[in-house]
Every structure is written in C-alpha cells, then in structure tokens.
C-alpha cells in the first residue's frame, strides 16, 4: 500500500518511470463524494503526535532530506444519506489544501519510535538528525472529499447494515484515489 501526501496545488516529481496524474487530473472524470470519514476496522497512530487517526500525512525535512509521506488504516466514507462507501487506500493521495494550524514541529527522531520506524521503512537516514515536520490527521468524524473509480464485485465491510454489497472507491498507480481534507477539518462526533 502507498499513500502519498500533497499540500496544496503541488506537482508530482517529473522524474518517475510511469506517469502519475496530478490530483487535479486524477479527480477529472472520477466519482467525487463528500462525507464523514469513518473507521472501517483499523485506526492507526500518527508517527509524530501518536494520536489515533484514520490517515496521517507528514511534510517537512529530516536533516537535509525532504519528506512528504502519509499512511492510513481502513476507511469508509459516510454519506449524508447514511450509506457507507469503502475507500481503498492501496493507491491513494492525501491532499491537505492548507498546512496545519500548528505549523511545523521540531522533533528529535528517537530510535524505536513510530517516526523512526516509518523513516526506516522509507529508507530515510535519521540517526542524529532533527526532523521539522507538519502533520495532518484525518480522524473518525472528519469531513473529507474522496475522488476515485467505483469498483464492482462483492465486498464485505464491518458495519455494513444492509444485505447489499457496499460501494467501493479505489485507484491505480497511475490514477490514485484522492482524499481531500482541510487542515481545520470539521468534527461530528456522533
């Protein structure tokens, strides 16, 4: 699974072997739904603050290396009608339209921490380095907009109330699912 973080109208690096669409291109022609982010089955801990969330994104520097990365658990989108749509994060981008209000935090990367584990899995050297990172969280209850391609087939989901198979939005490497959440995401803790 990969989940990439983009803040604002930023282009993806041109030096890639395959053409990956920008968020605007990926959204064009896809199905766009707005609703409340809901935990499907698994929440994760953010690598910086340790807060429980559905998705987190980090942007900043570790030493002299730039970092823009994200990770996520299982997520559903609850529509105003009450329908829950499953969102596949296998190929996805989190787009935060504005940086978080808290701004960047200076963090010492401690071996064995969640942040150290994330950096190790991405091949980022951190030993003896300080990280300056902005963190963006999508929590259960936050309002988000998701754009992706509907999948067909039989799928099961925890919390599905009807006998019908739920809708699923997914992406591909070339056209990822786009999750848009404002830095000041609205909360509806119901």
Average pLDDT across the chain, whole number: 77
- Is the torsion defined by CA of 104, 57, 174, 30 positive or negative? negative
Helix (H, G, I), strand (E, B) or coil at 53: strand
Q: Given pLDDT bands bounded at 50, 70 and 90, which one contains residue 165?
A: low
**Residue boundaries of the structural domains of the chain:** 2-181
Using one digit for the tens of pLDDT, what is the confidence trace for 74-107? 799 999 999 999 998 888 888 877 666 567 789 8
pLDDT for 16 = 36
pLDDT over 50 at 72, yes or no: yes
pLDDT for 39 = 94
CA distance 116 to 125: 9
Express the helix, strand and coil content of the chain in percent, nearest 5 each: 5, 45, 50
DSSP code, position 126? -
Asked if residues 62 and 124 have their Cβ atoms less than 8 Å apart, the reply is: yes
How many CA atoms lie within 13 Å of 29's alpha carbon, on the beta-carbon side?
6
Residue 136 has φ and ψ, to the nearest 5°, of -125, 130
pLDDT for 146 = 92
Using one digit for the tens of pLDDT, what is the confidence trace for 9-18? 333 343 333 4
pLDDT higher at 30 or 6 = 30
Using one digit for the tens of pLDDT, what is the confidence trace for 113-138? 999 998 998 888 888 888 999 888 99
């Amino acid at each position: 699974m990969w989940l990439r973080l983009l803040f604002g109208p930023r282009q993806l690096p041109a030096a890639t072997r395959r053409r990956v669409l920008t968020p605007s291109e990926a959204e064009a022609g896809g199905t766009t739904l707005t609703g409340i982010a809901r935990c499907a089955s698994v929440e994760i801990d953010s690598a910086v603050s340790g807060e429980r969330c559905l998705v987190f994104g980090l942007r900043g520097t570790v030493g002299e290396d730039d970092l823009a990365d994200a990770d996520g658990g299982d997520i559903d989108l609850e529509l105003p009608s009450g329908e829950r749509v499953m969102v596949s994060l296998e190929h996805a981008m989190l787009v935060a339209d504005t940086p978080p209000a808290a701004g960047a935090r200076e963090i010492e990367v401690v071996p064995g921490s969640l942040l150290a584990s994330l950096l190790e899995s991405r091949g980022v050297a951190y030993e003896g380095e300080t990280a300056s990172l902005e963190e963006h969280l999508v929590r259960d209850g936050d309002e988000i907009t998701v754009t992706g391609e509907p999948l067909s087939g039989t799928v099961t989901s925890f919390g599905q109330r009807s006998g019908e198979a739920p809708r699923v939005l997914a992406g591909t490497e070339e056209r990822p699912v786009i999750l848009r959440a404002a830095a000041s995401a609205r909360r509806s803790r119901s």
